[in-house]
Amino acid sequence: MSEPTSWHRLFGLSLLDFLHDQPVSVDLEKDLSLKQQLLDVVLIRKGTEQLTRRLPDGFEELAAHNLVSFKSYQEPLDGWALNELVGHYVNYRKQAGPSMQELPPETDFRLFAVCVRSPQGLARQVNLMPVRPGVYEVRHFTGVIRVVVVHELPQEEHNAILHLFSAQENLVRYGAQHYRLWSEDTSTLLLQLFERYRSEEVIMSGIEMLKQLHRETIDKLLKEMPIEERLKGVPAEERLKGVPAEERLKGLPAEERLKGLSPDELLAAMSPETRAALAKRLKDAGSAPDAGSR
């Protein structure tokens, strides 16, 4: 069994990618006490600018501060987990205000508990109030906790990010086929996620789908990258493979351009204009009178 914390971090990183370029900042593993207790994710709404991306079911309306607890398919969501989330909320709210006497209003905070499998044990402890398929609310003292159950969410594109964390093959397949990467900086995130599935022998078919998605992402980034960036660190002899002839030597220092290349390869790498100019120079040099015959 894997360390649950790494699943929590992957979940937070996926939200970091999903909310890239949106007016929401993402804090991972927020330390809320002197004795380290980490809150999985905090989504901080920045200003009043509208989001341009539909959020997963249950997350439709974000407050200024949104505290998220995540339970993987290995962990149950129970009453103690909800108590812990409320405790994190109390600590966080104290830290968010200018002083203990001036706390931000409760309306500035929302609590979310995301779990992969249905919380059957929790349903025996508390009243789970249905909101929509896969989304429930639970009362806590003066507020509510939004509970999102991944295995019960509809297979719709805006839920694909959560389906990636499922333990059901059809949902993982849907997530891999419909989730798109939003940030170049996190382009390897999904590959890490499926490598976890491989190590735990949960879902095998999804691995190849994600690898294909990963390859497509790299190909897309390479196509959009300037040729000089693509060829950085590539030896001169390797530049002849799959690169347009006129671009093969672009960006290389002069001393590197000849390294490892035969005369025929050098000629092939030249543009037609360069070859024509070189031929003219050689012809002119060959027709010039010999210095000793003057």
Residues of the chain below pLDDT 50: 1-2, 204, 291-294
Best CA proximity match to 128, nearest among 106, 113, 108: 113
Pair type for strands 109-115 and 143-149: parallel
CA pair distance 69, 87, nearest whole angstrom: 12
DSSP string, 262-275: -HHHHHHHS-HHHH
* Distance, CA of 48 to CA of 218 (rounded, Å): 34
DSSP secondary structure code for residue 234 in this structure: -
Look up residue 139 and give its two tokens. Answer: 């009362």
Q: Is the pTM of this model over 0.75?
A: no
Which one, of 145, 232, 144, 218, lies nearest residue 188 by Cα?
Answer: 218
- Sorted by sequence, the CB contacts under 8 Å of residue 148 that are 6+ apart come out as 56, 57, 58, 59, 112, 113, 114, 115, 134, 135, 162
Residue 8: the pLDDT is 79
First to last CA, the chain: 90
Structure confidence at residue 278 (pLDDT): 74
Are 139 and 124 contacting, i.e. CB atoms less than 8 angstroms apart? no
Compute the distance between CA of residue 40 and CA of residue 62 in angstroms, rounded to an integer.
17
**For residue 109, what is the enclosing H or E element?**
strand 109-115
Full strand arrangement of the beta sheet holding 38-45: 24-31, 38-45, 65-71, 109-115, 143-149, 135-140, 129-132
User: pLDDT tens digits, residue range 158-199?
Assistant: 999 999 888 888 898 888 888 887 887 765 666 676 666 555
